[in-house]
Structure 1
Amino acid sequence: MKSRYLFLIIGLCSCGENHTTVLTIDTPDYKRGESLLDHQPDSAFYYFNKVATGSKDSLLIAKSYNYMAVIQSDAGDYYGAEESLLTSLKYLDEQAPSHQNCLVSDYNELGRNSAELYNYEASINYYDQAIKRTRNGNYKAIALNNQAVSFEKMGNYTQAIAIYRSLLEHPPADKLEYARILSNFAKTKWLQDSGYYAALELLTALQIRKEENDEWGLNASYAHLSDYYTRKKPDSAHFYANQMYTVARHLNSPDDQLQALQKLIELSPSNDVKQYFQRYQSLNDSIQTTRNAAKNQFALIRYEVQKNKADNLRLQRDNIKQRVVIYGIVALFCTAVWVFILWYRKRKQRLEWETQTAIREHQLKTSQKVHDVVANGLYRLMMGIEHQESIEKDRILDVLDDLYEQSRDISYEQTKHIPIDFQGAIASLLKNFADASTKVLIVGNDNRLWASVTDKVKKEIELMLQEFMINMKKHSSAQNVLVKFDHQERLLIVEYMDDGVGFPSSFRRGNGLTNTGNRISAIGGQITFDNELPKGLKIKVSIPIAPNA
């Protein structure tokens, strides 16, 4: 569930601790961004981006990038938020007292963002950076609480409970933060020991949140209580799941609505499951569309601001040149200016058209993926629910969980980063498929081999090898797998061999291997399947590359 602590960012970035003096002077654009933050985040992002690209005050720039990251994270653009936070850190001085609170905020947000991307180890390290930089008790409690949640998500309940206990020994003055710590502590104790009686603490936290009218806190409490009562009292679990759904709808939190609907599908009578499933399907499709549109919009806003800045600089240079032009060529100069303006307008129109075309193509591609990955699967499941007299809830939940993860993959789709240590990445990929029954041998995978290989080819090779290994695990029953890499003249040779069952005589390529063949063809390579071996399978791939350096 998504925790929203925007007040923490505001408090930290305004440098509110008593020992710190604020040295920045907020600009009109910065103040305008703050005023729009709650109601028009897209417009706020525009003004913060103007400050970030136009100001000369490094702290003000860092604060603006921090705000931009919060807006991106709330819209589900976690990779974009991470980029903004890392940019913010570049403008901060680790030793400057006036920069410490913004550093705390950046590291806390990096921790939350990493947790949303399931990178809990990185999340914990970022929280450590935030904790050691703040002297404010409330801010430290928030960061420690966040860190404990990451430990809990990793399954390290002992460490999480130790943090919660230390916080409860000296509870924060803020009642809402105390309720959050208490509820999380009770939930984690129950996860560690299913016999632990967590109801009293969970209900105490719920009552505090009701008294303080903390709707986000109520949302979390209802989720914890529904999970706790699922096995003990299904009726109570259903009641709290329904309460969570009501609050999540009032807060307009799509992610929490999806979680509540998943609980209701599991806990509801058979005749109510279909209506909850239909709501889940509609809401999930809407979330993917909205988040992809938001990512595109943030990129477009940054593009426009950079473009306007470049245009302004160019116009300033033109004005300087105008001052030194003699009066005798005024007419010729005016004609040149008119031609330039005409050309500029046409160029701007063309760039805008190209940008809009790119956005439409991206949206079409995303819509197709949502249709292929999610819609078809949901439709088949819906048909099964409609025509079956008895419904296996566990099977439905397994399918829903799988579709949910696939839809998140589509939502978070980014240009794939090629690691510097590509040799290590390939080794890690292949070794992940080794186990007690399957040995994986790698030959020729060294850094010199990859030195002359482009990122595009590396990306396709990684996807190709992943497809080979998945097919091996699913179908071949192989005990030994060999993957060999080599340079031959101007070709990169990749050979895959296993001692599995090989392809049957009636074998036809599925979508995975067909796509792999298309990828290799797209980069000028060739792929050969050798199924004439007495046992197993051999695949040879040759790809043209630059001569080995």
Structure 2
Amino acid sequence: MKRAVIFTLLSFALWACTKPHSVVKNRQNLYFDKAERLLNEQKSDSAFYYFEKSASTSKDSLSVAMAYNYMASIQSDAGDIYGAQESLTTSLKYLDERKKENRYCLSSNYNELGMTSSRLGNFDSALSYLDSAIKYTDEQTYRYTFLNNKANVYRRKGSYKQALRIYRSILNVTEKGGKYYARLLSNMTYTQWLDNTAYPAAGGLRYALQLRQQLKDHWGENASYGHLSDFYSATKADSALIFAKAMYTIAKELHSPDDQLSALEKLIHLSPGDKSKGYFDKFNRLNDSLQTARNAAKNQFALIRYQSEKHKADNLRLMQENTKKEDEIFRQRLYLAIGLILLIGTTIWFRNRRQRLLLEADNRIRHYRLNLMQKVHDVVANGIYRVMNEVDYSDNLDKGYIVSQLDEMYEQSRKISQDEDINVQEDFSDKLERLANAFKSSDIKLAFSGNEPELWAKVNHRVKRQLEIVVQELLVNMAKHSHASQAIIDFEQIRDDLVMKYRDNGVGFPTDIHKGKGLQNTENRINAIGGHLTFEAHEQRGARIQIVTPIQ
């Protein structure tokens, strides 16, 4: 149970860090001043609008960079991570690292890029950005904050030794008894426990909580309750439940939906069955509400950006309409130059086109061979393994059934050799159930959720065919490599997409995983039908895979 909630806590701990923004002297921009006032009044949408206007009208590059920095912070808080990264990279374009007055905004941008990258699981990029933030900061306090953020990234990455070295280096120069000391102590103690679950972390975690309570640091209390709940989850479930409830209470007081979700996730795992269901219902309602709000915010930010760009385009069009015609001689020379360029470009294009056609022909042959190898692996090899598995673990398996399965594989093999599509018309829900039954045994429990005929009736046959092969590949890997005793596959329609989630309690993926042929083939199949696959690489926590693909 302890390992199951570590990811949630790590995510919270990272974002509980102080985020220093580029708050420097006013650059004499009325839109910027108004945006800051609105942001202080917690009117984020209006503040974003005026920061956008400030960025589009200011002639001072630092003011423009600061405006984009603020917009990124607003987007990040609203859950629009990709939008925040776009604003941050735009902000960097207006900054000159050689200018001292730009260094404050540079360090803030790189810190925010590190935080967003870590939130997306891009830990190496996050560490690189945070190194840049440390490089450009001139204030020791912010330097310690960036180092703490860097240690948190190492912790999320699972590099506990590196994280602990940074925590200790900061803790040794931090005054005892303050908020920052309590945060460092809690983070370091918790990381020591993650690195060695036998480490007696209770004393340090409780002392950090006591300091935070004395200082009325409610955000810090929230983090401490999460740490303590995880620490006790494996040894004292009743204590873990008490701290999870305390975290949920204070998260509601802080109006932090993300922390409420984290606390509810712990309560679901720690509570008895009847109460766990109640917390599960609360979790779903809150999560749905949060996603709706964040989607609305993303749309609002996109609309503001669109209106701003449209205004710029309209102004440019008016300027172009008012521009005088160029001198006739200049135009003739321009036409001559364009003609020469076109002549040269056409010659080069024809030569390159010939080379490209040769290369494409070679690639088609290579692709055909790879596709044939993939079909043999997915259809024949995995199919034979499935039948072997059924023979090993099924007590009531008659000869006729085995013959029918082998005959089906023979037909599929023949179609592969003749380069025909494999299109077996039958109830897809029943087909998946039979596939699951082939891998069930006394040692392996396997369950499907959402495998309903009504769902599959909406799904395109090609998508179903690829998903069948992917599911078979996952189950073969589970049976052969993962040492799992339980596996669950969920199917769900979300708008026009089909979402499949796979999880088991096996050894999981190593953090330095290299994609083998099977996993690469699986990813290629999903990409071929317009979907995408994500997986969580973390040893000893079981496999976690999510596939999102269009229904049609």
Q: Is the 8 A contact 1:104 1:130 kept in 2?
A: yes
How many angstroms does 1:233 deviate by? Answer: 1.5
Q: Is the 8 A contact 1:138 1:172 kept in 2?
A: no
CA RMSD between the two structures: 3.9
Mapped partners of 2:202, 2:280: distance in 1: 29
- In structure 1, the residue matched to 2:20 is 9
Choose from 102, 106, 118 the match for 1:103. Answer: 106
Choose from 270, 286, 292 the match for 1:289. Answer: 292
Which amino acid letter does the alignment assign opposite residue 38 of structure 2? L
Which amino acid letter does the alignment assign opposite residue 45 of structure 2? D
- In structure 2, the residue matched to 1:365 is none
Closer, same or farther in 2 for the Cα pair 1:100/1:122, shift >3 Å?
A: same
Mapped partners of 2:45, 2:37: distance in 1: 12
- In structure 2, the residue matched to 1:31 is 33
Mapping of 1:87-166 within 5 angstroms?
A: 87-166=90-169
- In structure 2, the residue matched to 1:206 is 209
Mapping of 1:56-455 within 5 angstroms?
A: 56-171=59-174, 175-312=178-315, 448-449=359-360
Which amino acid letter does the alignment assign opposite residue 143 of structure 1? F
Q: Is the 8 A contact 1:69 1:85 kept in 2?
A: yes
Q: Is the 8 A contact 1:141 1:172 kept in 2?
A: no
Mapped partners of 1:241, 1:473: distance in 2: 49
How many angstroms does 1:221 deviate by? Answer: 0.9
Could you give the per-residue CA deviations for residues 26-47 of structure 1, whole angstroms, max 9, x where no partner exists? 4121111111224111111111
Q: Is the 8 A contact 1:199 1:225 kept in 2?
A: yes
Which amino acid letter does the alignment assign opposite residue 258 of structure 1? L
Mapped partners of 2:260, 2:377: distance in 1: 34
How many angstroms does 1:310 deviate by? Answer: 3.6
Q: Is the 8 A contact 1:472 1:478 kept in 2?
A: no
How many angstroms does 1:515 deviate by? Answer: 3.0
Mapped partners of 2:176, 2:34: distance in 1: 32
- In structure 1, the residue matched to 2:483 is none
Q: Is the 8 A contact 1:254 1:283 kept in 2?
A: yes
Could you give the per-residue CA deviations for residues 483-524 of structure 1, whole angstroms, max 9, x where no partner exists? xxxxxxxxxxxxx979xxx97977666747523889xxxxxx
Mapped partners of 1:170, 1:161: distance in 2: 15
Q: Is the 8 A contact 2:15 2:115 kept in 1?
A: no
Q: Is the 8 A contact 2:19 2:112 kept in 1?
A: no
Q: Is the 8 A contact 2:75 2:83 kept in 1?
A: yes
- In structure 2, runs of 5+ residues without a counterpart are 1-10, 325-356, 387-414, 429-455, 467-524, 530-552
How many angstroms does 1:133 deviate by? Answer: 1.6
Could you give the per-residue CA deviations for residues 337-368 of structure 1, whole angstroms, max 9, x where no partner exists? xxxxxxxxxxxxxxxxxxxxxxxxxxxxxxxx
Q: Is the 8 A contact 2:103 2:137 kept in 1?
A: yes
Mapped partners of 1:181, 1:147: distance in 2: 12
- In structure 2, the residue matched to 1:394 is none
Mapped partners of 1:221, 1:179: distance in 2: 9
- In structure 2, the residue matched to 1:531 is none
Mapped partners of 1:194, 1:5: distance in 2: 23
Percent identical residues: 45
Mapped partners of 1:244, 1:251: distance in 2: 10
- In structure 1, the residue matched to 2:49 is 46
How many angstroms does 1:217 deviate by? Answer: 1.4
Q: Is the 8 A contact 2:72 2:85 kept in 1?
A: yes
Which amino acid letter does the alignment assign opposite residue 34 of structure 1? E
Q: Is the 8 A contact 2:177 2:211 kept in 1?
A: no
Mapping of 1:498-513 within 5 angstroms?
A: 511=459
How many angstroms does 1:309 deviate by? Answer: 3.6
Q: Is the 8 A contact 2:16 2:219 kept in 1?
A: no
Partner SS, residue 231 of structure 1? coil
1:514 maps to 2:462? yes
Which amino acid letter does the alignment assign opposite residue 515 of structure 1? V
Mapped partners of 1:260, 1:223: distance in 2: 7
- In structure 1, runs of 5+ residues without a counterpart are 16-21, 322-445, 454-460, 480-495, 519-538, 544-549
Mapped partners of 1:505, 1:314: distance in 2: 58
Mapped partners of 2:376, 2:76: distance in 1: 34
Could you give the per-residue CA deviations for residues 382-419 of structure 1, whole angstroms, max 9, x where no partner exists? xxxxxxxxxxxxxxxxxxxxxxxxxxxxxxxxxxxxxx
Q: Is the 8 A contact 1:73 1:113 kept in 2?
A: yes
Mapped partners of 1:101, 1:8: distance in 2: 13
Mapped partners of 2:378, 2:213: distance in 1: 53
Could you give the per-residue CA deviations for residues 231-258 of structure 1, whole angstroms, max 9, x where no partner exists? 1211111111011111111222222111
Partner SS, residue 107 of structure 1? helix
Worse-superposed segment, 201-210 or 72-81: 201-210
How many angstroms does 1:476 deviate by? Answer: 3.6
How many angstroms does 1:284 deviate by? Answer: 1.4
